[in-house]
Amino acid sequence: MKAAVAVAMREMIRAEFGDDVWQRIAARCGMSADRILLPISDVDEGLWQQLRKAAEIETGLSSEQMGLKFGETWVNVFTPRVYGAYYIGHKSARELLLDLDRIHLTVTKNIEGATPPRLHYEWEDERTLVLHYSSQRNMIDYLIGGIHALGRKYGESIEVQKIDEGRVRVKFEH
């Protein structure tokens, strides 16, 4: 997988919890805390899963809590800096969320080896969207955190409910 998510995780951990916590996380995973990670470099899937679990242990956060913190960093700090072009033209969280699968397809085409999750959309009513999340990484809690962060980014009230490990219900304000 591409290291973008790991780079964002490292930034979030250092900013929210301190460099000493990042050092303990890296040590748990058998890697140097100073290892150079670039967003487009490759990182082993197993290492990413170790980093996620070690981050939960070292911070004391559940997967859901980590997802919320990570989503904030991903949406409001990391992706605007690294993938800012993908935000252009979106005037609301709804617009961006409905375009996210296309964005992921574009990333897959433009960055060799990228395998972002796929999303399929199902409307329950005009305000309620069910997102079907397809990924082997089991990061639905991170998707939920990102959706909450999108609401904050666009100043919108969004309700998000995890249905199961592959589906999320999103209720938009209007």
Select from 110, 118, 115, 155 the least CA-distant residue to 134. Answer: 118
Q: Record the tokens describing residue 34, joined without a space.
A: 């100073």
Report pLDDT digits (tens) over 124-137.
999 999 999 999 89
Report pLDDT digits (tens) over 31-83.
999 998 888 888 898 999 999 999 999 999 999 999 999 999 999 999 999 98
Residue whose structure tokens are 């890296």 = 26
Rounded to the nearest angstrom, the gap between the alpha carbon of residue 56 and the centroid of all alpha carbons in its chain is 15
**What is the pTM (predicted TM-score) of this model?**
0.93
Residue 5 burial by Cβ neighbours in a 10 Å radius (0-12, 13-18, 19+) = buried
Per-state percent for the chain, helix, strand, coil, to nearest 5: 55, 15, 30
Residue whose structure tokens are 């290892």 = 35
Q: Record the tokens describing residue 156, joined without a space.
A: 């919108």
